[in-house]
């Protein structure tokens, strides 16, 4: 029955596992013919095998369901779900000063350095020839803003086919991106309780970006400058 419910690609693998179980049960029965507990042990083995296969089937069904929902999640439905989940957890915008204390502190801290960081970014681009420009991490972090009709240049994200808008220099855009850069550039691993409330629903993704950023830093310090240039 489990083989019928599973995908055809796994049917052969499941049949081999099932045949292996039956052979083990036959061998156990032959070697413990007079053992009164032999039947109980055989039943336990069979139930354990069935439960393991059921668990694998549940995982397979969950993966298939996620694949079906992926277009919806990536569209407007996913955004609406996140907005509703955030509002259910932290309340309305009018209560933000009370419910989003970590976010307010994060923005206040970023305000103190945003101009300096942005001026440094612009100066570094002006020094390099246009053909040698490399988009820094600040321009690849999604700000979660912007309208489709804005005429902005775009940059690709490593390992993804998604194209994100480059930072336009608008104050809030700079504030969010540079604030994100400050979060992921910390030496300690990012914990859910330490991130602003606005990122708690998606903090694992932010932690993954931090891991990639730290790998770049390690490679930069480990490799000679000539190797990096190559």
Q: Is the pLDDT confidence value at 136 over 70? A: no
Number of H helices, E strands in the chain: 11, 2
For residue 178, give the nearest of 202, 143, 151 by alpha carbon. Answer: 143
Position 203 scores a pLDDT of 80
Instruction: List all residues 6 or more positions away from 114 whose beta carbon is below 8 Å from its beta carbon.
Output: 171, 174, 175, 178, 179
| C-alpha to C-alpha distance for 196 and 109, rounded to whole angstroms | 12
Q: Is the pLDDT confidence value at 152 over 50? A: no
Residue spans per domain, the chain: 2-74, 96-229
**pLDDT confidence bin for 129, thresholds 50/70/90:** low
Tokens linked to 35: 């053992």
Instruction: Give the pLDDT mean for 206-230.
Output: 73
| C-alpha to C-alpha distance for 141 and 165, rounded to whole angstroms | 9
User: H/E element holding 136?
Assistant: none
Q: What is the pLDDT of residues 9-65, one digit of tens each?
A: 888 888 888 888 888 888 877 776 677 777 888 888 889 998 998 898 888 888 888
């Amino acid at each position: 029955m489990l083989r019928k419910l599973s995908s055809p690609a796994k049917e052969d693998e499941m049949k081999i596992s099932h045949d292996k179980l039956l052979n083990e049960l036959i061998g156990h029965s032959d070697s413990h013919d007079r053992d009164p507990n032999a039947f109980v042990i055989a039943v336990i083995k069979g139930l354990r095998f069935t439960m393991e296969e059921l668990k694998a089937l549940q995982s397979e069904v969950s993966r298939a369901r996620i694949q079906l929902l992926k277009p919806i999640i990536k569209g407007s439905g996913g955004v609406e779900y996140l907005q509703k989940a955030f509002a259910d957890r932290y309340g309305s915008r009018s209560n933000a000063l009370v419910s989003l204390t970590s976010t307010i502190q994060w923005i206040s801290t970023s305000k103190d350095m945003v101009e300096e960081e942005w001026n440094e970014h612009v100066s570094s681009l002006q020094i390099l020839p246009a053909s040698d420009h490399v988009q820094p991490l600040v321009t690849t972090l999604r700000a979660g803003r912007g309208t489709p009709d804005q005429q902005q240049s775009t940059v690709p994200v490593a390992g993804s086919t998604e194209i994100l808008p480059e930072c336009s220099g608008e104050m809030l855009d700079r504030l969010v991106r540079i604030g994100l850069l400050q979060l992921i550039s910390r030496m300690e691993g990012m914990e859910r309780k330490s991130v602003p409330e606005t990122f708690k629903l998606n903090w694992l993704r932010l932690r993954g970006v931090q891991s990639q950023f730290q790998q770049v830093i390690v490679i930069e310090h480990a490799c000679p400058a000539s190797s990096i240039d190559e």
